[in-house]
Each structure stands twice: as C-alpha cells, then as structure tokens.
Amino acid sequence: MPTIAYQDLFDRIDEAEVVRVCRELVRFQTVNPPGEEQVAAEYVARLLGRAGFESGLVPLAAGRASTLGHLRGSGERPGLLFSGHLDVVPVGAQGWTYPPFEAEMADGKIWGRGAADMKGGLAALLLAAQAVAAACAATHTPLRGDLIVAATADEEAGMRGARSITDSLAPIQAVIVAEPTANTLGLAERGVLWLELTTYGKTAHGSMPELGRNAILMMTALLAELQGLPIPFTHHPVLGDFSRSINTIAGGLKTNVVPDRCVVSVDMRTVPGQDHAAIVEQVNGLIARLQARGEGFSAGLQVLYDLPAVTTDPQNAAVRRFAEAALAATGRPPETRSVRFATEASIYVPALGVPAIIYGPGDPALAHQPDEHVPIAQLVEAARVYALAAVEFLA
C-alpha cells in the first residue's frame, strides 16, 4: 500500500505553479520545423533537477534536444514513464485572438500554440513529478521503481526524440503520454503510413506533346487506380476504419513544357490487423501493372512515415490502476476514447512492449488549430491524476 497520502500530493500541486510552468513552456517557440527545442529542454531539465531527479539532455541536432529525468526508486519494481513532447506545429496563416506565444490567460484558460498539444500536458506531468519527489523526500519513502520523465523533441515531424531515448527507459511497467484527450483515457490510436508517389515522364515543347511523355497524365491515371485500390481492413470497434487521403500534388515547370515529373503524397491511417508492408506491396503491384501496360508509364514509391496502430487492452492491469488513480483524483471514473492522431505511444509500445495510456488536458480537436487553449481546471486535474498514478504504480 502506498505510504504517501493522496492529500499530501494534492497539497503539493499548486494551481498558480502549474499555470506558471505551462505559460513558460508555451513561450518557448519550439515550432517544428525547425524545432529548436533545446532551450525548452534545458528548462525542463533544470526543473526536474531542482525536484530531485537525475536529469539531462539527449541531443538530437544543433539546437535540438530532449530531456530525460529519473527519480530513482529502490528497483523492486519496473519504472513508470511520463512522456510529453516539446515541439509544436506552425501557427498557420489564420489570425489568432491572442498572440500564439504569449500564453495569455482569459476565461479560465491559457491561450497559445501548444497550450493543448501539449505543453499543458507536459506542465501537468512536471508538476506531478515534482509533487511525488517532494512527498517521497518529506516522508523518507523512496519509490519502489523509477519515475521517468521524458520531454521529447521532434514529435510533430518524425518522433526522433522518442526514438532516441527508448534504449534508456527499460524496464518500465507502462507509459503515460500526456497528449490532449480532455482528461479522458485514450487506449487506441490508428497507425500512420505516408506514401510519396512520383511519376517520371519526358519533357517536350508544349506545342509538340507527342514528343514527350506527360508525368501529370501518368499521375492522374495512377491516382484514379489508387483511390479505388481495395486495401483490406477490418472495422475496429474503437478506431473505426482505414482511411486514405491524397493530400499534396506537385508537377510541371511551365505552361509550355510537357512535365517530366509529378509527385503526390498520400496519408493513410491504418487500424490494427493491417500490415503496412503489405499495403506498400499492394501499391507497388499497382504501379507494376500500369507499367506492364506499356505506354511509357513510369512511377516510383517512397515511404515517408510509418507508425503502427497501437491498442491497449482496457482490462490491462496498468489501465485499471491508472483508472483508479483518475477516479481517486477526480471523483469520477475516466471515460475511454480513441485517439484520432498518432502519438509517441507508436514508438514506445513496439520498442518496449509496454501498455500505453494517453491522458492529458486540452481538447484534442484544438491541436494544430488557431486559438489553441487549455482550461486551467483540466491542467490541475491532470497533474493530480498523474501524481496519484505515479504512487499507484511505484509506491
């Protein structure tokens, strides 16, 4: 049984401090690309260090790094990973009601790029980590396993920050990813498969198209077939269906030149049971069929991004334990939902073979949108849930 009292943990999570840390994190302009997360990573490392964690940076590139902190336990149990990312997506062309990097407060919310996705969640994780460390120190009760906090770079582009730390994490019982779920339990996310297709033609003067081979016309033929390609999948009760969307296209040089190249990118989102390699093979098969028809068709395929679908069994002991912590902290059992976007769970789960729980403050629909914000009440609630979860898993 935990010897750290819940109320003691709650008392150590001060709303003003959660707000301060969240606002400071939002003010670091960690827009990816280029990322430039190092200054924010150093801030997190200092905060964890002051709290009693062994913390340091894991460099990624010039000006880019993740933070990894360990609150050392006695080693009787595997650890627990808290994970949040430092980078944010660009602010976009639309106007914002509040400036995106000033973290203004209004209507009980903090406004800014990353407030929901996910500097709010990261701030809540940090406050929880700090509260747990202080409670352990005050009661002279070390945890029985390590509490590990990761603040990662590059989640929004290639998840290289998460990839760079997986070797330093084992053994752990579970990972808690603080992506915005409006403090509901996310136990499943679809996989991501991004394909780039290129058709190769031959230039000619636009007045003599018969002398060239038109890469754009080849692409229209390929896209028509791709859109109708029967890619098998089984409807998933939580995640729904497989989807595909052709989202970028580029080709041609000038109105009077036959294009020799056309490139598209396709965003596919997969459900459990689909094999990404088999999908790639199917699309390559389609290209081969079109090439076999003759007519000078030529195309190639490149995989841009490949993350598996992730599901965690709701009956898993780690999920039940986390749900108990959420119930104790909030007075109500957490609702379970699917997560529409991919998270770093897709890196940790296959690499470490552990269950992932996605739970964090902020409305997931606001991620990557203008006027992103996070309700302060959800920030505090999430910090309390994380703190209790750490004690439930580790004390």
* Amino acid, res. 368: H
Span of 7-15, 117-125, 271-279, 354-362 interacting with Zn ion by CB under 5 A: 117-125
Question: Is the bond into 333 cis (omega within 30 degrees of 0)?
Answer: no
Q: Which of residues 168-207 bind Zn ion (CB under 5 A)?
A: 179
Using DSSP's 3-state secondary structure scheme, residue 388 falls into: helix
Q: Nearest approach, Cβ of 296 to Zn ion (angstroms)?
A: 44
Q: Nearest approach, Cβ of 340 to Zn ion (angstroms)?
A: 12
Judged by beta carbon, residue 126 or residue 131, the one nearer Zn ion is: 126
Span of 111-119, 135-143, 162-170, 331-339 interacting with Zn ion by CB under 5 A: 111-119
Lookup result for tokens 């000006």:
63
Span of 90-98, 109-117, 181-189, 288-296 interacting with Zn ion by CB under 5 A: 109-117
DSSP 318-340: HHHHHHHHHHHHHSSPPPEEEES
DSSP 68-96: EEEE---SSS-EEEEEEE--B----SS--
> In the complex, which residue's CB is closest to Zn ion?
117
Judged by beta carbon, residue 57 or residue 118, the one nearer Zn ion is: 118
Q: Strand 310-311 relative to strand 185-189: parallel, antiparallel, unpaired?
A: antiparallel
Judged by beta carbon, residue 155 or residue 260, the one nearer Zn ion is: 155
User: In 79-156, which ranges are E strands?
Assistant: 79-85, 104-106, 109-111, 147-152
Judged by beta carbon, residue 103 or residue 143, the one nearer Zn ion is: 103
Judged by beta carbon, residue 147 or residue 342, the one nearer Zn ion is: 342
* Calculated CA dihedral for residues 361, 364, 365, 370, nearest 10 degrees: 60
The answer to whether 133 and 51 are in contact (CB under 8 A) is yes
What is the rounded distance in angstroms from the CA atom of residue 143 to the CA atom of residue 129? 12
Q: Nearest approach, Cβ of 113 to Zn ion (angstroms)?
A: 12
What is the rounded distance in angstroms from the CA atom of residue 324 to the CA atom of residue 335? 12
The answer to whether 357 and 185 are in contact (CB under 8 A) is yes
Q: Which of residues 279-308 bind Zn ion (CB under 5 A)?
A: none
Q: Nearest approach, Cβ of 347 to Zn ion (angstroms)?
A: 13
Judged by beta carbon, residue 187 or residue 262, the one nearer Zn ion is: 187
146 binds Zn ion (CB under 5 A): no
Maximum distance among all Cα pairs of the chain, rounded to whole angstroms: 84
117 binds Zn ion (CB under 5 A): yes
Q: Nearest approach, Cβ of 190 to Zn ion (angstroms)?
A: 15
Q: Radius of gyration over alpha carbons of the chain, in Å?
A: 24
118 binds Zn ion (CB under 5 A): yes
Question: How many of the chain's residues bind Zn ion (CB under 5 A)?
Answer: 3
Query: In the stretch 2-31, what mask flags binding to Zn ion with x, by CB under 5 A?
Result: ------------------------------
Contact residues for Zn ion, defined by CB under 5 A: 117-118, 179
